[in-house]
Structure 1
Amino acid sequence: MNGPKKLQQILAVLFIFTILLCSCRKAENTLSTKQEPSLPTIVIGSDNYPPFNYSGTDGKPTGIDVELATEAFHRMGYQAEFVTIDWENKKELLQDGSIDCAWGCFSMDGRMDEYKWAGPYMISQQVVAVSPDSNIYTLQDLAGKNIAVQATTKPEDIFLNQTDPDIPNINGLFSMQNRELIYPMLSKGYVDAVAAHETSILQYMSDYHVEYRILDKPLLTVGLGVAFSLDDTSGLNEELSDTLEEMQKDGTSEKIIGKYLAHPSTYLEVENYEVK
């Protein structure tokens, strides 16, 4: 009788020891995870601008710029945090340190002296779109017309200054703080045309199942970049430029852009592009 009892006692001890050992290992793994230092955060200011930055079905930021930034900063040893800002105030937010950089389909052309830049990481065309039945077919046909744009963008600058001989005198320019408001203004006939990045117009047409006609000749071809304050001495803009170039060469950028746009390689022809 003593034999079976002793065997039961030994098995019980082994069972308890096994549980304790597993618990210790689990605790060690948990402790090890907690002890891993978290990556420093880079705060990126942007606004809602599909397909570059918008809220996904889970409510989290997604889009071309979000994925590019997440990958690039991770390679650099940082984690990217996107915050929604009033795009008109981006320069002030960079200067006071509220954000580390501004990243949101941001055209570098004509702004080289206003920021420290990383990029260009993509090229994009600024275009004019009209209703399908519009009698506007060329840029010259915009003479005397009303046009809606987003405030502080390149199209606003083009139509306000009108230094390009291809740009005629228009009747009125409506600069909207919220980019998404320019499209209902066109659909309802409050303006005759809208001007924005071609990718943004195509995305809006797809999302809301509306049809616009994009004029054949673009307003401008621009390089897209990431803006840092002129007072920034971290050197992050130069490191980010190198990382984005690395991502283009290893195919990562094309893979990311291809999730959102057809013919992604056409947006990556930046090697010979000279920012103006």
Structure 2
Amino acid sequence: MKKIMIKAALVLGTLAMLTGCSGKKEAAPTSAAEAGKTTESAQATEAGKTADGEDTFTVGFDQDFPPMGFKADNGEYTGFDLDLAKEVAKRLGKKFVAQPIAWDAKDMELQSGNIDCIWNGFTITGREDGYTWSKPYMKNSQVFVVGKDSGIKTLSDLSGKVVEVQADSSAEKAIKEDDALLKTFKTLQTTPDYNTAFMDLEMGAVDAVAMDVIVAAYQIEQRKADFVILEESLSAEEYGVGFKKGNEALRDQVQEQLEAMAADGTCKKISEQWFGKDVTTVGK
């Protein structure tokens, strides 16, 4: 009898645990997007909805990459790319969500559906097959930033110097593809973000920082620092919006709105607010 009572208690305990667990689960998904299906409609809303059921457009970005995307002094996320993305979301009737990410974890964030796209000075060159891309919307190049009085004038002057880049950046990729140049450096080291890189350069911990020319020029202007950009560049490239491979549905929606924004002057207006001129190439 005692054994029977013990077995019954165990069964009841197990049922209680199962009931408790099932009570924490959400209701069964009611749409293809929620169910994780791979239809075009599901892909277009992959990152989900708000608690009120509003469609979201979640943009992954590096919050230490001004002027493309960064945290302002008031704590708000802002930037040229984020302003473009916010306008696109508005025109699509979606709630804009700026989602800061670790740059070296961007692929995981995209694949998991935590973000809808990567939009943050994201270089197409060398990544053509890894994502579904928008058309290029801006030209860029990879350059070296050095101290004004460093004596470094050309790429050959970087011989024996310590150079720093952001981890998993286009600058790092460009340098590693130029083996002859790389071998001249004393050291090539990485850092999580360019704010740290500029502080390292200011303190003399590194001799040069390799980075996007648009970001370099903005950083130098904002910091009022005695830095210069070398005339010789590493590589020429273009920026685009990167979506999960195969997500043509959302890509097409975003591309349509970008082209409409270029046609009605919105891209030009946003660009002039950040750069004092139109640097966009949509529809040109």
Tell whether 2:192 aligns with 1:177: yes
Scaled by the length of structure 1, what TM-score is found?
0.78
Q: Which runs of 5+ in 2 are unaligned?
A: 1-51
Scaled by the length of structure 2, what TM-score is found?
0.76
Instruction: Note the C-alpha offset of 1:205.
Output: 2.0
Pick from 100, 114, 122 the counterpart of residue 130 of structure 2.
114
Task: Name the structure 2 match of 1:149.
Answer: 165
Task: Name the structure 2 match of 1:66.
Answer: 82
Instruction: For 2:175 and 2:73, locate their aligned partners in 1 and report how far apart those are by CA, in whole Å.
Output: 36
Q: Structure 1 residues 39, 123: CA separation in 2 closer, same or farther (over 3 Å shift)? A: farther
Pick from 220, 235, 248 the counterpart of residue 220 of structure 1.
235
Task: Name the structure 2 match of 1:240.
Answer: 254
Q: Secondary structure at the match of 1:106?
A: coil
For the 8 Å contact 2:144–2:210, the answer to whether it is kept is: yes
For the 8 Å contact 1:94–1:229, the answer to whether it is kept is: yes
Matches within 5 A, 1:26-45: 39-45=54-60
Instruction: For 1:100 and 1:78, locate their aligned partners in 2 and report how far apart those are by CA, in whole Å.
Output: 12
Pick from 136, 144, 149 the counterpart of residue 128 of structure 1.
144
Instruction: For 2:282 and 2:232, locate their aligned partners in 1 and report how far apart those are by CA, in whole Å.
Output: 20
Instruction: Note the C-alpha offset of 1:131.
Output: 0.3
Q: Which runs of 5+ in 1 are unaligned?
A: 1-36
Instruction: Note the C-alpha offset of 1:215.
Output: 0.7
For the 8 Å contact 1:130–1:186, the answer to whether it is kept is: yes
Letter of the 2:243 counterpart: F
Task: Name the structure 1 match of 2:94.
Answer: 78
Instruction: For 1:142 and 1:176, locate their aligned partners in 2 and report how far apart those are by CA, in whole Å.
Output: 19
For the 8 Å contact 2:67–2:215, the answer to whether it is kept is: yes
Tell whether 2:110 aligns with 1:97: no
RMSD value, Cα: 2.0
Tell whether 2:283 aligns with 1:268: no
Task: Name the structure 2 match of 1:198.
Answer: 213
Tell whether 2:175 aligns with 1:159: yes
Quick check: which has more Rg, 1 or 2? 1
Spell out, residue by residue over 1:110-158, the C-alpha distance to the aligned partner (whole angstroms, 9 max, x if none): 1010111113111122211110112211122222221111111111011
Instruction: Note the C-alpha offset of 1:38.
Output: 6.8
Instruction: For 1:135 and 1:58, locate their aligned partners in 2 and report how far apart those are by CA, in whole Å.
Output: 38
Instruction: For 1:142 and 1:53, locate their aligned partners in 2 and report how far apart those are by CA, in whole Å.
Output: 29
Q: Identity rate of aligned residues, in percent?
A: 31
Instruction: For 1:145 and 1:69, locate their aligned partners in 2 and report how far apart those are by CA, in whole Å.
Output: 39
Instruction: For 1:167 and 1:248, locate their aligned partners in 2 and report how far apart those are by CA, in whole Å.
Output: 39
